[in-house]
Amino acid sequence: MRTALTQTQLSIPVVDGELALGFWQGIYQWEHRAAAHQRKVVLHLISA
């Protein structure tokens, strides 16, 4: 159920060095574990 409700990857356009998000849009990281856990975030930047 958790996998169906949350994503493991996200594509966001970057315009002039800024994330191209809408006015009410944001990026949230949500942890499903009861205890604290270390997380790594990987960024792949592809430029045209």
Residue 23 included in any domain: yes
Residue 45 included in any domain: no
Residue 17 included in any domain: yes
Count of domains in the chain?
A: 1
Residue 39 included in any domain: no
Question: Taking the model in full, what pTM does it have?
Answer: 0.51
Residue 9 included in any domain: yes
Element (H, E) at 3: helix 2-5
pLDDT score for 48: 67
First vs last C-alpha separation in the chain: 37
By residue range, what is the domain housing residue 24? 1-34
- Between CA 21 and CA 8 the distance in angstroms is 18
> Using one digit for the tens of pLDDT, what is the confidence trace for 1-48?
666 667 777 888 888 888 899 999 888 877 777 787 787 888 888 776
Q: Name the token pair of 15.
A: 């315009």
